[in-house]
Chain A
Amino acid sequence: MQRLVFFALGSGATLALLLVTGWLAPSGGNEQADAGGHYTLYAEFADAGTLERGARVALAGVTIGEVADVQLDARGYRAKVRMRIEESVDNLAIDSVAIIMTAGLLGEQYVEISPGGHPETLSDNDYIEDTQSAMSIETLIRRRIASPR
């Protein structure tokens, strides 16, 4: 009986230690506003172009966050982009638009946020529902070639 009590106490202490040190924190995407002063927003695009993890997220040309990852939503055949936004930018309206832009003619791609005017604001883990996908030259040429003369 005494051994059972020691075992239970030991297990409890180990569990508490693991929780405190973060070893048992959920793996994968960080769904909470993190300790680094960021919160998470998502956006889905029909075409993410060459957008990559680490690409900047900007508003009025000023960096306000970064792309945490770009994944394929296999069911909807859309690119799901997770963004870490600085916590100080806490007044983005729910009708804001996420746009994939290109820096320069052949530059890297990034996400520009066009702020909306709705009184409600986006919060942690919300989706920016209105988006503008990347427009590639290849797509435009393909459409031109496919159209009948």
Chain B
Amino acid sequence: MNRIRTFTPATLLVGFIMALLTAPMAMAQSEEEKLREYVRENSIRLVDKLDEIRELYDSDREAFYESMDEALGEFVAFRRVAARIMGKYARQATPEERDEFVSAFRRSLYDAYGGAAVSIDSSDFDLEVDSVEINPRHKDRATVNLSIITNSGERYGVAYSMYEPDDGNWQVENVIVEGINMGLAFRDRFEQEMQAADGNVSKVIDEWSTDVGDIEGLEDAVEQEKAKENG
């Protein structure tokens, strides 16, 4: 005999409440999945772009900066990153000085990428997005954990702190490499330079633009990796 399943109003009510309770979880999951895919796509696009424009870094620096702007301009929250680096000095700087530092930092970052692109090839490493966590207190902030795996199997943990503006896509506002908070490391450097410049913000900003990020250590590490692979 076929048993006909009937739903009492009470069962329907319980089902409805369960659906309401689990809906936000499902939404959060899909939001995290979307962010995971967004970061993965952007990371691949950036690496491809660097491969494509590496020659420009020496031949046409301005064209290199423009291409980097296309690749990173939307993905990195430069204004927030720069304010984070300036730290307490952001409050004493004028709006013009803050704007100048955004440009100076952006350019120094591109220079660091350019210098690295000369010696690092995209085939030297692989990139995986491990996990995504939306901040339970602020839905517009998230942490994305990634792994960079070199050809010899060495794995480096990287975490992006991300921010979602009201009118745009998620953007990176800080990077943590192997537990080291890079935003904080740059803030320490800014602080040191402020002390050396006797508190002259303008001087620190001017010199920041000509002071390319230190990538010598990174280049040495890549060269050592390559030497190991070649026996």
Residue A122 interfacial (CB < 8 Å):
no
B184 on interface, CB distance cutoff 8 Å: yes
Q: Which residues of chain A come closer than 8 Å to B184, judged between CB atoms?
A: 97, 99, 114, 130, 132
Asked if B138 and A115 make an inter-chain contact with CB atoms under 8 angstroms apart, the answer reads no
Residues of the A chain whose Cβ atoms lie less than 8 Å from the Cβ of B205: none
Decide: B181 and A116 in contact? CB cutoff 8 A: no
A3 at the interface (CB under 8 A from B): no
Q: How large is the interface on A (under 10, 10 to 19, 20 to 34, 35 or more residues)?
A: 20 to 34
Q: CB of B45 within 8 A of chain A?
A: no
Q: Within the assembled complex, what's the spacing in Å between the Cα atoms of A118 and B141?
A: 16
CB distance from B158 to the nearest CB of A (A): 13
Residues of chain A within 8 A of B179, CB atoms compared: 46-47, 133, 135, 139
**Contact stretch, chosen from B16-24, B85-93, B120-128:** B85-93
Does B115 touch A at the CB level, under 8 Å?
A: no
CB of B174 within 8 Å of the partner chain: yes
A53 → chain B, closest Cβ, in Å?
23
Count residues on chain B whose CB falls below 8 Å from chain A CBs: 26
Residues of B whose CB lies within 8 Å of any CB of A are 83-84, 86-91, 93, 133, 135, 137-138, 141, 152-154, 161, 174, 178-181, 183-184, 187
List B contacts of A93 (CB < 8 A).
Answer: 88, 91
At the interface, yes or no: A117 with Cβ under 8 Å from chain B?
Answer: yes
Smallest beta-carbon distance B220→chain A, Å: 16
Closest to A135 in B: B179
CA distance A97 to B83 in the complex (A): 13
User: A129 with B90: in contact, given A114-B187, A148-B154 (CB under 8 Å)?
Assistant: no
Structural contact, B141 and A95, CB atoms closer than 8 A: no
Q: B87 touching A115 by the CB < 8 A rule?
A: yes
A129:B87 contact, CB within 8 angstroms: no
Q: List 21 A-B contacts (CB under 8 A).
A: A47-B179, A93-B91, A95-B84, A97-B181, A97-B184, A115-B88, A116-B83, A116-B90, A117-B83, A117-B90, A117-B93, A119-B91, A130-B84, A130-B174, A130-B181, A130-B183, A131-B181, A133-B179, A135-B179, A135-B180, A147-B154
Expressed in whole angstroms, the Cα–Cα distance for A99 and B187 within the complex equals 13
With A129-B141, A148-B152 already in contact, the answer to whether A117 and B183 are too (CB < 8 A) is no
**A window 99-129: CB within 8 A of B:** 99, 114-119, 127, 129
**Contact residue among A132, A139, A148 (Cβ-Cβ distance under 8 Å from B153):** A148
